[in-house]
Amino acid sequence: MRIVGIAGSLRSGSYNAALLRAALEECPAGATLEIESIRGIPLYDGDVEKAQGIPARVAELKDKVAAADALLLVTPEYNNSIPGTFKNAIDWMTRPVADIPRVFTGRPVGLIGASPGNFGTVLSQSAWLPVFRTLGMRPWFGQLLYVGSAGKVFDAGGKLVDDAIRQRLRKYMAGFVAFINSGPAS
Ligand SMILES: Cc1cc2nc3c(=O)[nH]c(=O)nc-3n(C[C@H](O)[C@H](O)[C@H](O)COP(=O)(O)O)c2cc1C
């Protein structure tokens, strides 16, 4: 089973990229997590799409997600919502609309996130839900994972050093993989 994980930050010391790397460490046997990023994706511009089509980097990410069994988004929170950079990447990936079924529809999606504040991306995770609904995805709601106080949870090298969070991440990954394996409800 293959999961593509995308962290929604370009920052070299990103807590969310660190959380995605920790998710890879905690990915259960029998599943692989491919680490992806939003790097190289331009700002969405309908004129560019009309004249030049889908940018190569966007097409590459779309193909990776389409070939995987599931998607894991690791979201930062900006101003109590989804960072524009991350939303922009997913918006590009929903073009053209005719390709949404290939890339998104029915695809299991997991959602986790980290922030230095106390609430650990609660509001940005909520803000993703209408996007999943619009795209007809299959979100996993079995466990919530909000990583707050990220400055203490990760060390200076971006390693997850909080044992309680690591255990919750392990449980999250196990539950998500079981959900993917279970297939859609009939
Ligand atoms: C424009 C902006 C708005 C932010 N708003 C929030 C917020 O609403 N809630 C929050 O918990 N953190 C907020 N932060 C702090 C981010 O959580 C913090 O910068 C975090 O490190 C971003 O994720 P990253 O480490 O993966 O880059 C904001 C940061 C920026 C740059």
Digit-coded pLDDT (tens) for 54-103: 999 999 999 999 999 999 999 999 999 999 999 999 999 999 999 999 99
Residue 80 CA: which ligand 1 atom is closest?
A: 8
9 lines ligand 1 (CB under 6 A): yes
Whether the Cβ atoms of residue 135 and residue 99 lie closer than 8 Å to each other: no
The closest residue, in CA terms, to atom 5 on ligand 1 is 78
For residue 146, how far is its CA from the centre of ligand 1 (angstroms)? 13
- pTM greater than 0.85: yes
